[in-house]
Amino acid sequence: MNKVQNISAIDLFCGIGGLSYGLRKAGIDIKVGIDQDKSCEYAYSKNNKADFIGDDIANIQGKIINEKYWQDDQIKVLVGCAPCQPFSPHTNKVKGKEQTTKWNLLNEFLRLIEETNPQIVSMENVSNLSNKDIFKNFKSTLENLGYHVSYQNVYCPDYGIPQKRRRLVLLASKFGEINLIPKTKTPKKYKTTKDAIGHLPKLKNGEKSKSDPLHFTTELSEINIKRIEASQPNGTWLDWNEELRLECHKKSTGNTYKSVYGRMSWDEPSPTITTQFYNFGTGRFGHPEQNRALTIREAALLQTFPINYKFFKNPEDIALTKIGVHIGNAVPVDLGYIIGKSILRHLNT
């Protein structure tokens, strides 16, 4: 049972609230989420019962946050997941002003830590970030500010998340040593794709569920239907006949993208859910046995959003590409829960 009272969190780069919802599930009160994508406001506020500020973090002043959302006697928790694209291997080669601005988001996070002086900080991001100088600076600055810092690269199935997502999780505390709780699952007990989505109604190519507006598929072309029919769980396009292969597959560079146009397996966690999970051609997003790509509902469940999570106000608000970005960019709810439990264990001991 949570013995800690009067603890509250603020979520930077909150998106639609995966991290916040996980913290709430663990027992931490959420005051406000901040994200420059204003289309996230409905889902964030509706599910987390918290305020939403739709603005660039560079425009947010720590003094205002302290005055409006935190009281002096509270244990203050500042969490966030800066947009990860700048730190991924295939995008950090990009040069120019836009890329520099994105990299600077982590420094803006650091600025708000300095200005608000929370007792607890948590940062989640791509595992590749731990090798970057900007992360090393982030960590050393926290230590210079008096925080005890730990971080680890988390393999999400180790914590009951049905997805082969790898993430960097940093925890920092002014009170003393803080660490993520021990792994909760062994490989034999990993939650599988079937565990997460196997109960959903079957759908044909291009079909929509009558009972769930988020359970619908994009319609595959005739050639892509033939490709997915020829695909095996965890197989590659090498399983296809020559006439089904794309021109890029016939080049030497194409050999490095074996999972593109791939079919998932029921018996293990899913691949990492990205913002284009609904597109059969952008990754291993073919359904394990049905000849189609993933639906929004399936991706949300694989990201551990509960079935009653509200992503839109009205059915006509459903926009596949927008909700795809919302869900693909989210912190898995259950990873947020693990972070929350780690914070509370630390404070209780």
Task: Give me the mean pLDDT over the 87-112 stretch.
Answer: 64
Residue 118 in domain? yes
Residue 175 in domain? yes
Looking up residue 127, the CATH number of its domain turns out to be 3.40.50.150
Q: Which residues contact 216 (CB under 8 A, 6 or more apart)?
A: 203, 207, 208, 209, 295, 296
Residue 1 in domain? no
pLDDT higher than threshold 90 for residue 277: yes
The 3-class secondary structure across 98-138, one letter per residue, is HHHHHHCHHHHHHHHHHHHCCCEEEEEEEHHHHHCHHHHHH
The active-site residue out of 14, 84, 156, 248 is 84
**Span 164-217, pLDDT tens digits:** 999 999 999 999 999 999 999 999 999 999 999 999 999 999 999 999 999 999
Q: What share of the chain is helix, strand, coil (3-state, %, to 5)?
A: 40, 15, 45
Residue 91 in domain? yes
Residue 231 in domain? yes
Q: Write out the two tokens for 181.
A: 């709780």
Same domain for 147 and 98: yes
Q: How many domains does one find in the chain?
A: 2
Q: Write out the two tokens for 174.
A: 């002014």
Q: What is the percent of the chain with per-residue pLDDT over 70, rounded to a whole number?
A: 89
Same domain for 234 and 278: yes
The helix/strand/coil state of 320 is helix
Same domain for 279 and 156: no
**181, 143 contact by CB (below 8 A):** no
Alpha-helix residue ranges (DSSP H) falling in 4-132: 18-26, 41-48, 62-69, 97-103, 105-116
Which of the four pLDDT bands, split at 50, 70 and 90, describes residue 254? low
Same domain for 114 and 19: yes
Residue 127 in domain? yes
Number of Cβ within 10 Å of residue 248's Cβ equals 12
Same domain for 340 and 315: no
Output phi, psi for 123, to 5 deg. Answer: -130, 130
Q: Write out the two tokens for 318.
A: 């459903």
Same domain for 176 and 53: yes
Residue 229 in domain? yes
Higher-pLDDT residue of 287 and 319 is: 287
Number of Cβ within 10 Å of residue 185's Cβ equals 16
Residue 2 in domain? no
Domain of 73? 7-186+333-348
Taking the CA atoms of 295, 296, 300 and 306 in sequence, report the sign of the dihedral they define: negative
**81 given a catalytic annotation:** no
pLDDT higher than threshold 60 for residue 98: no
Task: Give me the mean pLDDT over the 252-272 stretch.
Answer: 81
Angle, vertex CA 176, rays to CA 173 and CA 180, nearest 5: 65
Torsion of CA 156, 161, 165, 166, to 10 degrees: -10
pLDDT at 3: 57
**304, 330 contact by CB (below 8 A):** no
Same domain for 122 and 66: yes
pLDDT at 59: 96
**Span 202-253, pLDDT tens digits:** 999 999 999 999 999 999 999 999 998 989 998 887 777 777 877 665 665 5
* Whole-angstrom distance, CA of residue 176 vs CA of residue 178: 6
Task: Give me the mean pLDDT over the 6-20 stretch.
Answer: 97
Same domain for 343 and 320: no
pLDDT higher than threshold 90 for residue 162: yes
Can you say how many angstroms the Cα of residue 23 is from the centroid of all Cα atoms in its chain? Answer: 14
pLDDT higher than threshold 80 for residue 95: no
Same domain for 317 and 274: yes
* Whole-angstrom distance, CA of residue 224 vs CA of residue 229: 8
Task: Give me the mean pLDDT over the 286-295 stretch.
Answer: 96
pLDDT at 138: 95
Type of residue at 134: I
Predicted TM-score (pTM) of this structure? 0.92
The helix/strand/coil state of 212 is coil
Higher-pLDDT residue of 234 and 294 is: 294
Same domain for 324 and 339: no
Task: Give me the mean pLDDT over the 140-167 stretch.
Answer: 98
| Secondary element (H or E) of residue 328 | helix 320-328
Same domain for 94 and 110: yes
Looking up residue 299, the CATH number of its domain turns out to be 3.90.120.10
Strand duo 75-80 + 29-34: pairing: unpaired
Q: Which residues contact 95 (CB under 8 A, 6 or more apart)?
A: none
Number of Cβ within 10 Å of residue 327's Cβ equals 27
**343, 122 contact by CB (below 8 A):** yes
pLDDT at 309: 98
Same domain for 129 and 238: no
In angstroms, the first-to-last Cα distance of the chain is 12
